[in-house]
Amino acid sequence: MDSRRDSRTKPLLLIDVDGPLNPYLALAAEPPPEGYARHWTRPSGWPGDQPLPVLLNPEHGVELRALADRYELVWATTWEDDANEWIGPVLGLPELPYVEWTVPEPRAPLGTLWKTPYVLEYAAGRPFAWVDDEITSYDRAWTDQRHHAAALLMRIDPGVGLTRTDFDTLAEWAAAL
């Protein structure tokens, strides 16, 4: 894909935080997994007085900035705009648009992630790649039936987070469009 194209012609890269960027299943590891550092956050919806720990790897920011030549980056996380305050700066990312969620409703068939209808609505017929730890075959099938542009749905292991292979897959997929 020509990196000089404006953002409206690029596919979207929809990015979940918990799982892909914050491998929350590894939070108990001491020391944290290689490349990751623990950060303490207070997103607006977080209850109580204790801050929320997250594991973040600054290399993910480097990789995502490189992918911005091929994609329009968008947060697709329950963090919504809080990702711009607590996650993006640690990774060196600019402020990104985000998918706004309404109260989760059973808008998709049983087994399909509640986010999936919102992701398709946000994509509005544009090609997109989506990285999330809760994507299943049900989400892929539902997307294939309702979204008539290219879509890559990648389930990311929430104990590992995004890997070199994942970033390569995202770059290759966008280049093949």
* Stated pTM of the model: 0.92
Output the tens digit of pLDDT for each of the chain's 177 residues.
333 345 568 999 999 999 999 999 999 988 899 999 999 999 887 887 889 999 999 999 999 999 999 999 999 999 999 999 999 999 999 999 999 987 666 567 778 898 999 999 999 999 999 999 999 999 999 999 999 999 999 999 999 999 999 999 999 999 999
∠95-143-177 over CA atoms, to 5°? 65
Nearest by Cα to 12 from 127, 93, 99, 97: 127
What 8-state DSSP symbol labels residue 29? -
> Distance between the two ends of the chain, CA-based, in angstroms?
7
| Reported CATH class of domain 12-25+58-176 | alpha beta
| Paired sense of beta strands 52-56 and 37-41, if any | antiparallel
The domain ranges of the chain are: 12-25+58-176
